[in-house]
Copies of this chain bind each other. A is one copy, B any other.
């Protein structure tokens, strides 16, 4: 994915980590959901808007592998699996929420900028 070798180790390395940790489409949503408490597979499927069964599975496996969530399966019938944030997952929630809050507070600024940009381009196209 990345040909990083000719770079001063500090900064770019950290960004690499960020992207590899949360760069995919669904992880953040799932983590935020689990931030409100443990969830069953089907609950997540319902709550994470638009996610497919496949991607929920893939995402959860990734989060589990990276130590953000635990998976607990109960051998009942029907089966029942619960996912829960680990301490690492809870920690991650802090900067993630900061980012989310920022996004909330600044949404209008981005939307505004976008409208102005598009307006300028539309005019330039005439």
Contacts and interface: CB of A to CB of B under 8 A. Distances in A.
Interface string A74-102: 00000000000000100110111111111
Contact of A22 (B22, B32, B97): B22
Nearest to A37: B5
How many copies the complex holds: the figure is 2
Contact of A114 (B29, B36, B65, B106): B65
Interface extent on A, as a size class? 35 or more
Contact of A117 (B6, B64, B107, B110): B64
A19 B11 contact: no
Nearest to A97: B1
A12 interface: yes
Contacts of A54: none
Interface string A1-16: 1111111000111110
